[in-house]
Amino acid sequence: MERAERGERILEAAKELLLAWGYRRVTIDEIARRAGVGKGTVYLHWKTKDSLMLAVVLKAKWRSQQQQLARMRADPRNILPSRMLRGFYRDFLAEPVLRALYTDDADVLGRLNDTAKKELTELMEVSDQALHGSLEILREHGLVRTDTDLRHQQYALLSMAAGFFLAEAMLYDRAPDSPEVRGDIFADTVHRAVEISPEEFAAGQPPGAAHGPTHGEAVAAAAPDVIALYARMEEHSARELRRHVRD
């Protein structure tokens, strides 16, 4: 079995046990048994249980970022905050590790949650920089509102995301049944709060401007720079994941 394939099997086994039993009860012995390898083989890839479990969290975030990039590259409109965050929300719903991380699920993560927050500080800063930079680009292209401070706009988006994520745990008995409906509610909330609609964009063009860009053209023009920001974030996550693996 190739080293990379073996590492993937160990990661998948660790994820399955983390979600089924919670961090505290999972042991390296059980992970090795589930992966079909020896205990020593696990330690050939990761120095400690914490390093392995942190890699499970990092991989979940990295996969979400890969999916986000794929959506942006497939359709430039996915650079808009409403569509970007709806995609991230759907990733969150589909990935139990992300749900546990963003809802502070102590039953699953235990003390790993505190370790993850410390270890992921730099990654969160890179993520904040990507969001800040993308808002700057979108503002320059007239695609989001500029009548509020950019930092306040960023905080509003992060707060809305935190609210919708936590609502999955706190308001589960009052939420619409369909994840798609909840995602659409989230997207509509973000759109109304920060974005310029195509109609507003057209109305804001100077009178008599026959050759001004359309909303779609503005999105297409902004897309390469926004995608580049998120590509750098994805690359940073990939490096962080590799950093926790033994050479």
Number of domains in the chain: 2
Contact criterion met (CB below 8 Å) for 157 and 85: yes
Report if residue 51 sits inside a domain.
no
Domain match, 118 and 202 both = yes
Q: What are phi and psi of 27, to 5 degrees?
A: -120, 160
Q: What is the mean pLDDT of residues 74-82?
A: 98
pTM above 0.85, yes or no: yes
Q: What are phi and psi of 46, to 5 degrees?
A: -135, 140
Domain match, 22 and 63 both = no
**Which one has a higher pLDDT value, 112 or 99?**
99
The reported pLDDT for the residue numbered 241 is: 85
pLDDT grade for 168, boundaries at 50, 70 and 90: confident
What lies within 8 Å, CB to CB, of 186 at 6+ separation is 85, 86, 89, 160, 164
Domain match, 98 and 184 both = yes
What's the one-letter identity of residue 104? D
Domain match, 15 and 108 both = no
The reported pLDDT for the residue numbered 204 is: 79
DSSP β-bridge partners for residue 195: 144
C-alpha 45/C-alpha 26 separation (Å) is 17
CATH code, 5: 1.10.10.60
Alpha helix positions (H), 75-178: 81-94, 96-102, 106-109, 112-119, 121-140, 150-170
The reported pLDDT for the residue numbered 133 is: 97
Domain match, 109 and 212 both = yes
DSSP β-bridge partners for residue 144: 195
Using a 10 angstrom Cβ sphere, with 0-12 exposed, 13-18 middle and 19 or more buried, the burial of residue 7 is buried
Domain match, 93 and 209 both = yes
pLDDT tens string 20-50: 999 889 999 999 999 999 999 999 899 889 8
Domain match, 102 and 199 both = yes
Report if residue 92 sits inside a domain.
yes
C-alpha 168/C-alpha 91 separation (Å) is 13
In angstroms, the Cα distances linking 51 to 42, 119, 245 are: 11, 10, 8
What token pair was written down for 122? 């730099």
The reported pLDDT for the residue numbered 86 is: 96
Report if residue 225 sits inside a domain.
yes
Domain span including residue 211: 57-243
Report if residue 191 sits inside a domain.
yes
pLDDT tens string 189-239: 999 999 999 999 988 776 555 567 899 999 999 999 999 999 999 999 998
Domain match, 16 and 84 both = no
Q: Quick check: helix, strand or coil at residue 47?
A: coil
Domain match, 24 and 72 both = no
The reported pLDDT for the residue numbered 100 is: 87
165, pLDDT greater than 80 = yes
Report if residue 134 sits inside a domain.
yes
Domain match, 79 and 14 both = no
The reported pLDDT for the residue numbered 91 is: 92
pLDDT tens string 115-164: 777 777 888 899 999 999 999 999 999 999 999 999 999 999 999 999 99
C-alpha 18/C-alpha 108 separation (Å) is 6
